[in-house]
Amino acid sequence: MQLENKVALVTGAGSGIGAAGARAMAREGAYVFVTDRDAASARAVSQSIAAEGYAAEALQLDVTDDQALIDAINWAALTKGRLDILHSHAGLQVEGKLEDVAVADMDASWALNVRAHFVAAQAAIAPMRAQGGGSVIITSSNSGVQYDREMIAYATTKHAVLAMTRQMAADYAKENIRFNSLCPGFIDTPFNRGFEIQMGGRHKLDEYVETTIPMGRFGTVDEIAGGIVFLASDQSAFMTGHALVIDGGESI
């Protein structure tokens, strides 16, 4: 097992990529704290992991509450004696070009897609430093390495995540605390609702995927989960400041 005796905490893990990553890390031996704003969703994922014979614990967490986020990370490190992996995943997708996006929606995008990752990463430094290192994975998007038409709030914040992750990677590399960004493309989950609206409906999104993405299909959450395990494990021990793009070639 690649993550045996490791402790991981995942935000936004109640569904989609977050849930798949939590399950994948648990299957590789990690004790996973499954956190989500929806307590029932976090509990369902945790219970499904336990049902397979692996170890997980559910926590209700709204990552826009700074103190709650800090407390959850401190709790995980305190109760298990360490924190090896933080996957800061929770995010928000707001569609629209400059004239269409309210300032409040831009602020909400920043709060979830950038600020919460900053707060989470900051809280993880102390336990990771004390144990001699760790892996912080921050979810950006392939929208962070390209520009999506009429998605100013999403693309702007996802680009910002990459810059922030690289800066943190440079600052903490000598302490063996690694920071990498996960950049998924179109994965068939409800999170794509913003793109569906922007493109004019599900049929338009399907048409885009089939005709524009070189591989001609959506990715699966399990395909992204494999990348999460890679970034969490010693397979990527010499990798920091990297944007791992998994998008079927869309951003080529």
Q: Are 54 and 80 in contact (CB under 8 A)?
A: no
Q: Which residues pair with 32 in a beta bridge?
A: 8, 56
Question: What does the chain come to in residues?
Answer: 252
3-class DSSP string for 44-86:
HHHHHHHHCCCCEEEEECCCCCHHHHHHHHHHHHHHHCCCCEE
Strand pairing report for 243-246 and 177-184: parallel
Q: Is 154 a catalytic residue?
A: yes
Q: Which of 31, 54, 154, 172 is catalytic?
A: 154
Q: Are 61 and 34 in contact (CB under 8 A)?
A: no
Token pair, residue 241, equals 């400041």
Strand order in the sheet with 243-246: 56-60, 31-36, 7-10, 85-88, 134-139, 177-184, 243-246
Phi-psi region of 96 (alpha: psi -120 to 50; beta: other; left: phi over 0): left
Q: CA–CA separation, 18 vs 45, rounded Å?
A: 10
Catalytic residue ranges = 154
